């Protein structure tokens, strides 16, 4: 399985990479623009990411805009690949949460990261 971690905070990225490495190969990006580029390249190569964990508040491109572009690229891809996307962020207001789900995230976790909660959600998403 291929996993992409997207977070501008190096500590959060490292925690997520370490936690998710049990599921397969983990790549990381520091902003939404990098993530969109990595996901698009993976789709074009026929090796899409299965799971993406993405922060919202990041420089260059925020996670919500990146999520929207990702879903647009996936819709255009020939292989109909669609990654499971977990938004992991410090933002917990209902407007932002609703916006994330309207842009088709699969789950939403509020930081600080609770490893057991994350692994439970990953388990449920990957069993679909």
Count of structural domains within the chain = 1
Here the CATH number for the domain that contains residue 119 is 3.40.50.2300
Query: With contact defined as beta carbons under 8 Å apart, do 28 and 17 qualify?
Result: yes
Residue 128's pLDDT is 73
Which DSSP letter does residue 72 get? H
d(CA 61, CA 79): 26
Q: How confident is the model at residue 30 (pLDDT cuts 50, 70, 90)?
A: very high
Short-list 10, 8, 14, 73, CA closest to 38: 73
| pLDDT tens profile 58-95 | 999 999 999 999 999 999 887 778 999 999 999 999 99
Condensed to tens digits (0 to 9), the pLDDT of residues 43-63 reads 999 999 999 999 999 999 999
Q: Which two tokens stand for residue 84?
A: 């499971």
Residue 73 structural domain: 2-126
């Amino acid at each position: 399985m291929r996993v992409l971690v997207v977070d501008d905070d190096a500590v959060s990225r490292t925690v997520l990479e370490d936690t998710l490495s049990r599921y397969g190969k983990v790549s990381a990006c520091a902003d939404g623009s990098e993530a969109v580029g990595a996901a698009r390249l993976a789709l074009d190569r026929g090796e899409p990411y299965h799971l993406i964990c993405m922060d919202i508040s990041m420089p260059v491109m925020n996670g919500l805009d990146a999520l929207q572009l990702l879903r647009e690229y996936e819709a255009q891809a020939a292989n109909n690949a669609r990654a499971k996307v977990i938004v992991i962020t410090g933002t917990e207001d209902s407007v932002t949460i609703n916006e994330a789900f309207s842009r088709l995230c699969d789950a939403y976790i509020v930081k600080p990261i609770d490893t057991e909660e994350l692994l439970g959600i990953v388990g449920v998403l990957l069993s679909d």
